[in-house]
Amino acid sequence: MIDVAVIIVSWNVRDYLANCLRSVCAELHGRNLTGQIWVVDNNSTDGSAELLSDLFPHVKVIRNTHNPGFGAANNQGIVAAAVDDPRYYFLLNPDTLVRPSAIATLVSHLDANPKVGVAGARLLYGDGRFQHSAFAFPGIRQLLFELLPMPDRLYETRLNGRYPRRYFEPDVTPFSVDHPLGATMMIRAEVADTTGGFDESFHMYCEEIDWSWRIRQAGWEIHAVPQAEIIHYGGESTSQIQALSLVNLWRSRAQLYHKHYSPWKADMATRLVRWGMARKAAETHDPELKNAYHEIIRIWSNGSQ
């Protein structure tokens, strides 16, 4: 048995991956934690494979010959890492830097709170700015914030699924949330085993929301732990394919709403998204974005297909 299996799914972010691995190695070696690092590479073409073999030979690597998606790749890592019998799985994006004691703090919190199935860290952007790392489950109100201009003062409120920034101060007690951002999730092994992992039909985006929903329905708590701090640069893989990423995001949102909400609420969301995306398409002069907005309308009209 080991304390934690660290699972990093990576795609074409070689330099970020190198720095992430250095920070994770330093944390595991400096905190008296037993652990193993797994990298699941989704067919990168930027030299990531050579980096791993040259600089991190102790890291276990799964090399996919295609990109199966974020959730499916994490599931691969969880299944492979299970041979080491970890108490916890720590799912971590490659565009992150683990600050000293972050992993140990998450482990300690889960050790001390047996009803908590998932713990997320406090996130900062690369320049030190605050980053929201946990959210309420999305509903109709959050769609309004995505599709319409809203007063600036409301974006940071619970109306938009945000928890107050003061909750994330390092001296504040960990608190219950609906779901963490998928960039960092420490999951109790029992939870991973009994709730089935990520739904692999979500190729990218919203998979952590869906899994958190099922974890909460199974009776587990999910906590944000402000004392565990991690730098998250954010969107380094998806920024390479912006229009496609936008379509993938809204495809996953359609799937999420149709999976977890009643038909009448899903229908209300569909009508709102179709109207909002038509409005965006009419306003943009970017042909790629215009095509993306029309594709999103088609996806929602067909029930997420």
Q: Name the DSSP letter for residue 164.
A: P
Which amino acid type is present at position 54? D
Write out the two tokens for 301.
């009209």
Whether pLDDT at 242 is above 90: no
Q: What is the pLDDT of residue 238?
A: 47
Name residue, tokens 């692999």: 200
Q: How far is CA 247 from CA 161, 181, 241, 300, in A?
A: 22, 19, 10, 11
Q: What is the pLDDT of residue 32?
A: 83
pLDDT tens for each residue of 268-295:
999 999 999 999 999 999 999 999 999 9
Full-model pTM: 0.93
Q: How confident is the model at residue 236 (pLDDT cuts 50, 70, 90)?
A: low
pLDDT tens for each residue of 36-62:
999 999 999 999 989 999 999 999 999
Domain definitions of the chain by residue range: 2-236, 241-301
DSSP readout, 233-299? ---TTGGGGHHHHHHHHHHHHHHHHHHHS-HHHHHHHHHHHHHHHHHHHHH---HHHHHHHHHHHHH
- Residue 181 has φ and ψ, to the nearest 5°, of -65, 140
pLDDT tens for each residue of 67-123:
999 999 999 999 999 999 999 999 999 999 999 999 999 999 999 999 999 999 999
Which CATH code for domain 2-236? 3.90.550.10
Q: What is the pLDDT of residue 80?
A: 98
Beta bridge partners of 231: 97, 124
Q: What is the pLDDT of residue 86?
A: 98
Q: Going by C-beta distance under 8 Å and a sequence separation of 6 or more, which residues neighbour residue 108? A: none
